[in-house]
Amino acid sequence: MKKKVLIALVALAVIAGIGFVAFKIMSQRSVSTSLLTAPFASAPAEVKAQVDQAAEAVKGKDYLASVKALKVVADKGGLPQEQKDAIYRACNDISGMKLGTNADAVTEVILEIQTKLAE
């Protein structure tokens, strides 16, 4: 009887551990740089360069540099909706990342970008 209880407890612990690991893997957010850059493929060179810079910063996990580059693009104005949507999506994804000590600064720039794009 004790052996069955012990086996059941061990099995339950293993299942809980697997569930926890699966939850952690599935809950990790990421920023799709291809979804960000694709709408800017035919954009003017200076705009495309800023978006590419933002994508590279995301890959390096430098989210503050990324949103600052996106802010330059948003400040230029005149973006078609597809490009605005790509920036919104990237900002939303970035805001869900672990931002560390730059969290407040990143959030502030994201709010500035969203305000600018809404104009």
Structural domain spans, the chain? 1-30, 31-118
Q: At what angle do helices 81-95 and 63-76 cross, to 10 degrees?
A: 160
Hey, what are 82's tokens?
């597809």
pLDDT recorded at residue 73: 96
CA distance 21 to 18: 5
pLDDT band at 4 (very low <50, low <70, confident <90, very high): low
pLDDT in tens, 68-118: 999 999 999 899 999 999 999 999 999 888 888 888 999 999 999 999 999
Q: Quote the pTM value.
A: 0.74
pLDDT band at 23 (very low <50, low <70, confident <90, very high): very low
Is residue 10's pLDDT more than 60?
A: no
